[in-house]
Amino acid sequence: MEGRKLGTILITNDDGIDAPGLRALVQSLVATNLFNLQVCAPEGEKSAVSHSITWLHPIAARQVNIDGATSFAVSGTPADCASLGISKTLFPTVPDLVVSGINKGSNCGYHIVYSGTVAGAREAFFNDIPSISISYDWVNGESNLNDFTLAAQVCLPVISAVLVETKNPSYPRKCFLNVDVPNNVTSHKGYRLTKQGKSIIKMGWRQVTTETAGQKMSSDMTNTDTERPTNFDLSSVSPEHLLFTREVRGSVLDDDDTTDYRCLKEGYITVTPLAALSHAEFMCCFDGSILLASVAAFAYTFLAILL
């Protein structure tokens, strides 16, 4: 640590190093002058890649200029970035905390499994580094880029509280935190400890032609219009190939008002403990009620500080 700074934070994401969510998060953290900041993020869009890693070939990293942080754009996945960032290969020190985000679109329920944002935090958790994934519930026609700055600011107390609590021996090491910020962040109802629900957007498939395959996705998991990847060369598709694209076929929502999705839509900033690929409550049951109680006690402690 330097002076009165609370510690070193590694920032990653899945929207890419130039994404407004990541830049707003870094700028907000820099403005506090409380943290040493490192950034290791994908060089481009890596949404919905889940916890995939690069195994068969090297990845490339190039230094980029982000004021107040030592930053690298990496050719790999979010999990690659988190792994490289905490390895002491790219940076000389191991961070005290990894924060992944701020994602453009919420990550609740079963969508957590698809999320590259959550995977960045999970990779740090696999390596015993405290971590937080952060997402903003972006809605087309309502949200704007300044909302990322507002989302970052309401998450600063959570980040600071976790950094302080990690110095205590009682800090629960068998979970990491997934934070979702509601769309109308200026009117949020406060912070709420939640559990991972089962909400999911049901996806189907539709056959397309080479003429229509390049159109925007119609309502993906982030509720944003997303251009098709340009690295897919349609001119190389032969007439023998059939083309299919995903499309939304409906959704399944939680009926439990203690879940992440329900509380987020009610206007709360949700804080959800996670463990590996299952939610923390399920995993902790196998370790005994004492661990579950310690996770809850920790979460309620720093939520009490925020309130």
Predicted confidence (pLDDT) per residue in 38-83, tens digit: 999 999 999 999 999 999 999 999 999 999 999 999 999 999 999 9
Strands 35-42 and 7-12: parallel
CA dist list (Å): 220 to 33, 51, 82, 224 = 37, 19, 25, 6
Instruction: With H, G, I as helix, E, B as strand and everything else as coil, classify residue 123.
Output: helix
Using pLDDT thresholds of 50, 70 and 90, give the confidence band for residue 229.
low
Specify the pLDDT at position 239: 78
- The Cα–Cα gap between 190 and 271 comes to 11
Using the predicted structure, report yes or no on whether residue 297 has a pLDDT greater than 70.
no
Mean pLDDT of 222-229: 50
Using the predicted structure, report yes or no on whether residue 217 has a pLDDT greater than 50.
no
Specify the pLDDT at position 222: 46
Using pLDDT thresholds of 50, 70 and 90, give the confidence band for residue 280.
low
- The Cα–Cα gap between 28 and 139 comes to 22
Beta strands in the chain (DSSP E): 7-12, 35-42, 61-66, 69-74, 97-104, 131-136, 176-181, 191-193, 200-208, 243-252, 269-275, 278-279
What are the b/e assignments for 259-292, b being 16+ CB within 10 Å? bbbbbbbebbbbbbbbbeeebbbebbeeeeeebb
Specify the pLDDT at position 209: 84
CA angle 91, 276, 268 (to 5 degrees): 90
Using pLDDT thresholds of 50, 70 and 90, give the confidence band for residue 214.
low
Specify the pLDDT at position 291: 44
- Least confident interval from 192-201, 268-277, 286-295: 286-295
Using pLDDT thresholds of 50, 70 and 90, give the confidence band for residue 249.
confident
Specify the pLDDT at position 231: 52
Higher-confidence residue of 219 and 265: namely: 265
Asked if 175 contacts 53 with a C-beta cutoff of 8 angstroms, the reply is no
Mean per-residue pLDDT of the chain: 86
Closest listed residue to residue 258, CA positions, set 247, 268, 248, 243: 268
Residues of the chain with CATH 3.40.1210.10: 7-195+257-306
Closest listed residue to residue 260, CA positions, set 201, 193, 162: 193
The CATH class, in words, for 7-195+257-306 is alpha beta
Mean pLDDT of 250-258: 84
Asked if 298 contacts 290 with a C-beta cutoff of 8 angstroms, the reply is no
Using a 10 angstrom Cβ sphere, with 0-12 exposed, 13-18 middle and 19 or more buried, the burial of residue 104 is buried
Asked if 141 contacts 75 with a C-beta cutoff of 8 angstroms, the reply is no
Specify the pLDDT at position 296: 54
